[in-house]
Amino acid sequence: MNGPFSGDFINETEIRSIWGRRVTHKGELMTAVKLEDARRVISAAEKKAREVGQPMNIAVADEGGNIVAHVRMDNAWIGSIDIS
């Protein structure tokens, strides 16, 4: 897989396994994203941001839009926090 998640940190199979977990919350079936997995996704995204020379805000959310983890790289545009 070519893209932000290719390389040493995380691969396509791992991404599919992270977003393949399902839990029931308030009677609805949702994707469960663990903090450990979110950190791995962020690590891969940070690596790609460094490769392209663009500091970024990176957020990982579950299916319900609830933030699991967020990071703002040094010198990243503060306005992009809302976008991430």
pLDDT in tens, 7-36: 456 666 776 666 666 666 566 666 678 898
Q: Is residue 34 part of a domain?
A: yes
CATH of the domain at 32: 3.30.450.150
Q: Is residue 51 part of a domain?
A: yes
In this prediction the pTM is 0.65
- Give the structural domain span for 30: 12-83
HEC states along the chain? CCCCCCCCCCCHHHHHHHCCCEEEECCEEEECCCHHHHHHHHHHHHHHHHHHCCCCEEEEECCCCCEEEEEECCCCCCCHHHHC
pLDDT in tens, 49-59: 999 999 999 99
Q: Is residue 54 part of a domain?
A: yes
Q: Is residue 72 part of a domain?
A: yes
Q: Is residue 56 part of a domain?
A: yes
